[in-house]
Amino acid sequence: MTAINAVTDFAVEGDVGVITLNSPPVNALSAAVRDGLAGGMAAAAADPAVKAVVIVCEGRTFIAGADITEFGGAQKGASLYDVQEAIENSPKPVVAAIHGTALGGGLEVALTCHYRVAVPSARCGLPEVNLGLLPGAGGTQRLPRVVGVEKALEMMTSGQHVPAKQCLEMGLVDELVEEGKLREGAIAFAKKIVAEHRPLKKVRESNDKVEAARGHPEIFANFRKANARKFRGFLAPEYNICCIEAAVNQPFDEGMKTERKLFGELMSGSQSAAQRYAFFAERQANKVPDVPDDTAVIPVNKVGIIGGGTMGGGIAMNFLNVGIPVTIVEVKQDALDRGLGVIRRNYERSRTAKPEETEARMSRLTGSLDMSALADCDLIIEAVFERMDIKKDIFAKLDAICKPGAILATNTSGLNIDEIASVTKRPEAVIGLHFFSPANVMKLLEIVRADHTSKEVINTSMKLARKIGKIAVLVGVCPGFVGNRILGARQREANKLIMEGAMPWDVDRVLYDFGFPMGPFAMSDLAGLDIGWVKEKSKGETIRDVLCEMDRRGQKTGAGWYDYDEDRNAKPSPVTEKILHDFIVKSGANPRHVSDDEIRERCLYPMINEGAKILEEGKAIRASDIDVVWENGYGWPVYEGGPMWYGDKVGLDKVLGKMREFQATMGDAFKPAPLLEKLAAAGKTFQNQG
């Protein structure tokens, strides 16, 4: 075995040269890895005993892509194109041996190899689209030549990681080798290639599949149309599609030029910068400075949930999905039956769960009317009404029932967890686990650290979140925590704007155009205006009271802020307009024209300001954590990075200037946070507070 460099070895086994990369954590294509590959290929070329080459990786995965941390820096080491050329033009067959994930540049390297083998657990994908990019190392031209245009469109615009078995079926992988025996299997495969004198298969020369799509522009038109909603606002999906069109309509080398040009445009644009930031922000959120990764973890083998409603049921599904038994406690039998029934129906309706999986999951679920059924649970999550007295009562009972060491969690979306913990004799065991609805779908989990929460409880919660597929962000106790507190700032302005002359559909349109899935008034119609509204107490004092009294309670009643047709299409409502007009006049004001710019600034800048307050109060660890919350829990468009990133993009001096202007005319709701003032004065940003 010869060391090519610090991350690459070369060995000759019989007549096969084996290049082994070992660059933790994910063998990303850093300068050292590219140099290692170039050196390994040169060593293989120079050794006459070598008849074929295998490229294999140590550690958890095959090459998982370009090294994203190198983007934007000066190019060092061998260029990826040169490495790929050396592989593709090698006179000796090259075999990629894949385990873990072959992603992005990693799969693009494998696509320049003449053959690819993989273990069954491996996955392949071109996920660049999720970083606001397209595959920039020939992937856009080679993938459609292997899997065909339709599959390439699907893979490249979704970024999905395709399981090895499927890769085999679509020709992306030539052979599966036994799990755990990749190296031996790949060497045996390479020997077979040599013995059978198989040709040097160059993907670039294989044109059948792209030619089949030539003269059929409808393939692309239909794909665009079918996915218009999903791709809205994002540049990268369209750019990926254009590259596949180029693969179909241009010769390979021309297609490569198109790819390179479009890749450059995306790479230098603000969307990809925001999406790459989001990638690292999510991973950064896992790190808690005073809770090291090796902090003890409490084994969680059984979960208890109090409350079998929509929230409790959704939370339960997360644990059942990963094999953890759950006991749900309800107060009444019919509520319990209903809750368990909803979970079963959700599984039965799910496209991903097979019938036998549904049964397996349901077999891990039990229900009870007695809280003492939670005595042997390792984690108990309370998911009942947002009322402090009820929660305190439950926690006092849990304290008496639950075994020592159990984690006592509340799903409150904003109540004071220190107060809840105070009724127990074990405040160190109490934590907030704020799931978002629907809890089995939404990715975000706000983990709320109270004054006395132990590090073990925090670490266990963070690790468990990952296990159930959530993106966890640790936040501190304050009204509304991070997400709802910032939402409050936006909602306050949205409500004020419609009292000044903007229509609900104006506010919604501006926020929708910014990239949110829907605006606050459309959202309110969807959720129902009557949540928390009590008919008997309603005196027509607020616009909501009036709308509810008129039975305009949202989509479910065919009218709310908007009017709805029978297909639930929304139309601006003259009734709402009149109600608003009357309210404004009654308040002694005159409706005025409110510009779209003002709506955007009034709704978004106070969110940035609230984020700054959260940071200075230490309720979020870092600015990017706030952005992770807003992207994954509230639909902030990922290509705009999150409120704090967006503040930096706009310029903190500009945000501050507007806040001061609004403060002068509209009062202290706009009072700038000291941190915003400090950073703006120093010309700094939230990301780089220096």
Comparing CA positions, the residue from 406, 569, 602, 383 lying closest to residue 492 is 602
The CA–CA distances, whole Å, from 328 to 292, 404, 625 equal: 32, 20, 31
Pick from 16, 103, 119, 629 the residue near ligand 3HC by CB under 6 A: 103
Pick from 7, 16, 28, 621 the residue near ligand 3HC by CB under 6 A: 28
Pairing of strands 162-163, 175-176: unpaired
Report whether 591 contacts 584 (CB < 8 A): yes
Pick from 53, 55, 66, 305 the residue near ligand 3HC by CB under 6 A: 66
Helices and strands (DSSP H and E) totals, the chain: 28, 20
User: What track of x and - describes contact with ligand 3HC for positions 369 through 408 (by CB under 6 A)?
Assistant: ----------------------------------------
- Taking CB under 6 A as the binding criterion, the range among 99-107, 190-198, 429-437, 667-675 that sits at the site for ligand 3HC is 99-107
**DSSP states of 269-306:** SHHHHHHHHHHHHHHHTT-BTTB-TTS-------EEEE
- Taking CB under 6 A as the binding criterion, the range among 57-65, 91-99, 544-552, 580-588 that sits at the site for ligand 3HC is 57-65
Comparison of 236 and 511: residue with beta carbon closer to ligand 3HC: 236
Report whether 328 contacts 318 (CB < 8 A): no
Residue 108 a catalytic site member: yes
For residue 120, cis peptide bond before it (omega within 30 degrees of 0): no
Residue 241 tokens, joined: 């599609």
- Taking CB under 6 A as the binding criterion, the range among 62-70, 141-149, 176-184, 515-523 that sits at the site for ligand 3HC is 62-70
Comparison of 163 and 309: residue with beta carbon closer to ligand 3HC: 163
* 25 near ligand 3HC, rule: CB under 6 A: yes
Q: Any bridge partners for residue 365, and if so which?
A: 326
Place of tokens 């992937």: 139
- State in angstroms the smallest separation of the CB of 67 from ligand 3HC: 4
Comparing CA positions, the residue from 215, 218, 365, 245 lying closest to residue 305 is 365
- State in angstroms the smallest separation of the CB of 33 from ligand 3HC: 10
Comparison of 280 and 385: residue with beta carbon closer to ligand 3HC: 280
- Taking CB under 6 A as the binding criterion, the range among 102-110, 423-431, 514-522, 628-636 that sits at the site for ligand 3HC is 102-110
Measure the CA–CA gap between 406 and 244, rounded to whole angstroms. Answer: 54
Place of tokens 């999906």: 237
Comparison of 278 and 603: residue with beta carbon closer to ligand 3HC: 278
Comparison of 101 and 410: residue with beta carbon closer to ligand 3HC: 101
Comparison of 127 and 504: residue with beta carbon closer to ligand 3HC: 127
The helix (run of H) or strand (run of E) holding residue 461 is: helix 455-467
Pairing of strands 162-163, 123-125: antiparallel
Task: Name the catalytic one among 13, 58, 70, 108.
Answer: 108
Measure the CA–CA gap between 433 and 411, rounded to whole angstroms. Answer: 5
Report whether 343 contacts 362 (CB < 8 A): yes
Task: Name the catalytic one among 85, 88, 128, 566.
Answer: 128
Q: Any bridge partners for residue 102, and if so which?
A: 124
Residue 215 tokens, joined: 């003269």
Comparing CA positions, the residue from 408, 410, 423, 414 lying closest to residue 454 is 408
Q: How many CB atoms lie within 10 A of CB 91?
A: 6
Residue 112 tokens, joined: 């320049």
- State in angstroms the smallest separation of the CB of 461 from ligand 3HC: 18
Place of tokens 């993989």: 118
Site for ligand 3HC in 138-167 (CB under 6 A): 139
Comparison of 133 and 182: residue with beta carbon closer to ligand 3HC: 133
Pick from 65, 237, 308, 367 the residue near ligand 3HC by CB under 6 A: 65
* 21 near ligand 3HC, rule: CB under 6 A: no
Place of tokens 């910032």: 486
Comparison of 103 and 603: residue with beta carbon closer to ligand 3HC: 103
- Taking CB under 6 A as the binding criterion, the range among 67-75, 169-177, 404-412, 508-516 that sits at the site for ligand 3HC is 67-75
Residue 33 tokens, joined: 């890895």
Site for ligand 3HC in 104-133 (CB under 6 A): 104-105, 108, 127-128, 131, 133
Comparison of 127 and 476: residue with beta carbon closer to ligand 3HC: 127
- State in angstroms the smallest separation of the CB of 396 from ligand 3HC: 39
Report whether 480 contacts 413 (CB < 8 A): yes
Largest CA distance in the chain: 93
Site for ligand 3HC in 534-593 (CB under 6 A): none
Residue 386 a catalytic site member: no
Site for ligand 3HC in 68-87 (CB under 6 A): 68-69
Site for ligand 3HC in 223-282 (CB under 6 A): 280
Pick from 18, 32, 64, 96 the residue near ligand 3HC by CB under 6 A: 64
Comparing CA positions, the residue from 205, 213, 289, 274 lying closest to residue 248 is 213
Site for ligand 3HC in 280-309 (CB under 6 A): 280, 283
Task: Return the active site residues.
Answer: 108, 128
Binding site for ligand 3HC (CB under 6 A): 25-26, 28, 61, 64-69, 101, 103-105, 108, 127-128, 131, 133, 135-137, 139, 280, 283
